[in-house]
């Protein structure tokens, strides 16, 4: 079964440049947080529906500073709002890039697995004919223990 979902190359220099650029971006964003799954589940989330509410609240905070009690941190709210305004376009670039990198890793991983299975098949078919293949065939065979059910590549149609 031949498969070629992607055919590309990255030079060592390109990888170095990418890693340096990502490190520089990470250095520029020292305030980034990592939320636990539990935290993500319980915090209030700003979506597209409530974004106009936040915009109006920011405008009100600027225009009517006298309406706030001493317990509301207006400066911190406006600082967070400004950060949100600046980070949203960054996320708009990063999110599709991240998704595309993940999908590409999955595709090239699949391509290499399919090809590796063909190599394995060739090694097994020629292990007695080519000196040195017996050891490699046994090492590769360890990944396919007997008695394990194979997983179909596609779901059977009922």
Question: Which range is least confidently modeled, 21-30, 99-108, 143-152?
Answer: 143-152
pLDDT at 153: 58
Alpha helix (H) ranges present in 7-148? 12-28, 37-42, 51-63, 74-126, 133-141
Assigned domain for 117 exists: yes
| Domain membership flag for residue 33 | no
Q: Helix 133-141 to helix 74-126 angle, to the nearest 10 degrees?
A: 130
Residue 149: predicted pLDDT = 61
Cα–Cα distance measured from residue 36 to residue 64, given in angstroms and rounded to the nearest whole number: 36
Number of domains in the chain: 1
- 21 inside domain: no
Res. 102 pLDDT band, cuts 50 70 90: very high
CA angle 152, 126, 146 (to 5 degrees): 40
pLDDT value at residue 18: 97
Establish if 56 belongs to a structural domain: yes
Contact 68, 74 (CB under 8 A): yes
Residue 150 has pLDDT above 90, yes or no: no
Q: Is 134 part of a structural domain of the chain?
A: yes
User: For 3-58, how does the pLDDT look when each residue is reduced to its tens digit (9 = 90+)?
Assistant: 999 999 999 999 999 999 999 999 999 999 999 999 999 999 999 999 999 999 99
User: What pLDDT is recorded for position 145?
Assistant: 87
Residue 158 domain-assigned? Answer: no
Q: Is the pLDDT of residue 70 over 90?
A: no
Domain that holds residue 102: 44-141
pLDDT of residue 107: 96
- The answer to whether residue 99 sits within a structural domain is yes
CA geometry: angle 108, 18, 82, nearest 5 deg: 115
């Amino acid at each position: 079964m031949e498969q070629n979902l992607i055919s590309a190359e990255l030079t060592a220099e390109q990888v170095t440049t990418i890693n340096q650029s990502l490190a520089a971006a990470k250095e520029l964003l020292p305030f980034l947080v990592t939320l636990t799954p539990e935290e993500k589940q319980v915090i209030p989330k700003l979506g597209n529906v409530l974004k106009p509410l936040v915009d109006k609240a920011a405008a009100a905070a600027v225009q009517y500073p006298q309406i706030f009690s001493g317990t509301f941190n207006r400066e911190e709210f406006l600082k967070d709002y400004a950060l949100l305004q600046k980070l949203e376009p960054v996320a708009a670039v990063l999110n599709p890039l991240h998704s595309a990198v993940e999908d590409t890793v999955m595709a090239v991983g699949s391509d290499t697995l399919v090809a590796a299975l063909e190599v394995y098949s060739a090694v097994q078919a020629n292990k007695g004919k080519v000196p040195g293949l017996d050891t490699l065939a046994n090492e590769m065979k360890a990944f396919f223990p007997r008695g394990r059910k194979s997983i179909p590549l596609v779901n059977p149609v009922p």
